[in-house]
Amino acid sequence: MRFINDLHFQFSELVADENLKPYAYLLSKRLSEGNVCIDLDIEDLDGEYKSWSEKIKKIIPAFSEVNISESTNMLSVDPKDKKPFIVFNDKFYSYRYFNYETRIINKIKEFIVNEKDEISQRQHELKKYSEEILKLQDINLDITDWQLTGCLNSYLNNFSIITGGPGTGKTTTIAKLLMLFYTIDPSLKVAIAAPTGKAAIRMLESLKNNPLSGQEPLKSKVEELEVSTIHRLLGVRNNSHYFKKNENNPLDFDVVLVDEASMIAVPLFAKLLDAIDSLKRVVLLGDKNQLASVEAGSVFGDLCNASLLKNSDSLNVFNSERISFINSFLNVNNQIVDNGYSDDNLLNNHITELILNRRTDEGSKIIEALSVAIIQEKVEDVKELLIGTSNSLKVDNDYNKELFEKFIAGYEAYIKEPDIKKAIEKLNDIRVLCAVREGKHGIYAINKRIEIYLQQKNLLRINAENYESRPILVTKNNKELNLSNGDVGIVRKGSKGNMMAYFIHKTGEILEIQPEFIGSYETVFAMTIHKSQGSEFKDVLIVLPENKENRLLTKELLYTAITRAKKRVTIQGTEEIIVQTVQNRVHRISGIIDRINN
């Protein structure tokens, strides 16, 4: 194999057929960017080839010089004909990712076909408990009660999606749904999972703190709930990308609830659905506008977008029969209005979007207004909000040192807190979020800058790698230590005088671990926006790079960062950078929307 320091070139070198080499190179490149395939209809192949290095072009032929129709040994156009690559619906895939996509779509179809035999019985069960269901309704609303609608819909269906932004009540909806399930069948076996340990723990904490968890039957069930990462739920095999739970050995649960589903990449999404019996129920929850997974694909967002009616931005699409049934449980003011159901869409009747932000404080309202303007790409609205006088939103065009230091001075609270649990909670009240890792506005430089400032203020004494009160973020699962990727803890001197790392376990107990045993972890005064998904903080400082051409700067990234804040958000970045970011969107290429709709 010829060596060029280019991962995509190394991949193309594995392809013997010269006609496929440029396509293999481009596919590897697109996969690394989060796409599942190449869209041959829209891809400018000649323009793309011109952008490649001269070294690559001397070895790999141009697209205009090859003919993939002659590549019969390695390329298929028939899904039943398994070859390394396939062209399907004018999209060029590796067969592996085409297979993942196919499994996802086919399994969703299985869920939906199998639920049809259960709908009548489930409707009967719901009617039997109509008085208990009425207690779950929000009687103070004068608009559709989408929370209860999502619960009823998820009870009826084998496959359901509930999506909504921060503050719309996804946790309350889960609590209501669990109340519904356990009221009708107390013996039901339910699992709750999330892509990261942090997201799973936060879901459990939020659920325990929800008022409904103090009421029966949920009160006696909440401690028994299985809450874990998706990897742990499926059962990791050492040194293998296969799981113990699969289509031949499915999960032993009646209901699987999956939170933060927008973070799930295509391979894990396929394996998760494989492991759930299509006669059981699965409910996917998440924010369709958030950043997609770090790996290839944006399955959750694609599924939501596949259900959109033409000339509409509403995901709440139900047929007349479903509307009539759900409305029978709702007050007149809270009922669903018929919105033009389309029979030809597989996912209609299966997606509920929570629309109303339940947070009423000024900070939440400002954050919601800004996040909506960003997602809808309303640049003038964004500009107007940025120049406002609200204490909940500040914008620093000059990367002001004093403003930065005033924010990070907030870390003093956790450093001076002697109680370990309270210290970790105070640490998680504020966070600096960065778009990038490298550069002066990346997490490495920002973390170092914060350390220096806190040391100058005599709050830290950085005399070793693991100094007193060092905040750390676990970056790799460690099953033996009960640590998950995304867990945040602090280093403090232990009872024997040596430095120990402390974390809050999902049970609420404190874990004490020698830092050397953890494996992969890093300082977390600042963290990437990607890593912050699944977390919320009272105060957030967002530091954007000054290079507006940075491809990471998209409206989804900025939306995700802003919606991590519950009370206040400060943005360090020029108006030009922010506006450019709002106008850039993540567009991940896959075949899910076309294949679902056709």
Domains of the chain: 7-98 (1.10.10), 137-358 (3.40.50.300), 362-583 (3.40.50.300)
At residue 396, the 3 state secondary structure works out as: strand
Q: What is the pLDDT of residue 234?
A: 92
Token pair belonging to 22 = 């440029």
Amino acid found at 317: V
Peptide bond before residue 217 is cis, with ω within 30 degrees of 0: yes
- Cα–Cα distance for residue pair 445/526, rounded to 1 Å: 9
Other Cβ atoms less than 10 A from the Cβ of 161: the count is 27
Q: What is the pLDDT of residue 341?
A: 66
State the DSSP string of 491-520.
EEE-TTSSEEEEEE-TTSPEEEE-HHHH-S
Residue 497, pLDDT score: 85
Q: Under a CB-based contact definition with an 8 Å cutoff, are residues 284 and 261 in contact?
A: yes
Could you give the count of Cα atoms lying within 13 Å of 86 in the half-sphere of its Cβ? 20
271-281 residue pLDDT tens:
999 999 999 99
In whole angstroms, how far apart are CA 315 and each of 27, 141, 191, 289, 298? 32, 20, 26, 13, 17
Q: Which residues of 119-152 are buried (b: 16+ CB within 10 A; e: fewer)?
A: beebbebbeeeeeebeebbbeebeebbbbbbbbb
Distances in Å between the Cα of 76 and the Cα atoms of 40, 48, 70, 191, 306 are: 15, 24, 11, 39, 26
The answer to whether 591 is a known ligand-binding residue is no
170 annotated ligand-binding residue: yes
Is 47 marked as binding a ligand? no
Question: Is position 84 annotated in a ligand binding site?
Answer: no
The residue whose two tokens read 């095999």 is 237
Encoded tokens for 158: 């084998």
What does the angle CA 431 – CA 200 – CA 568 come to, to the nearest 5 degrees? 25
Q: Please list the ranges in the chain whose pLDDT falls under 70.
A: 1-4, 309-313, 339-344, 360, 548-549
Give the model's pLDDT for residue 201.
78
Tokens in use for 46? 């000649």
The torsion defined by the Cα of 292, 524, 361 and 584, in degrees rounded to 10, comes to -30
Tokens of 480: 């033996």
Asked if residue 167 belongs to a known ligand binding site, the reply is: yes
Instruction: Report whether 166 belongs to an annotated binding site.
Output: yes
pTM: 0.87
Q: Do the annotations mark residue 169 as ligand-binding? A: yes
34 is in an annotated binding site: no
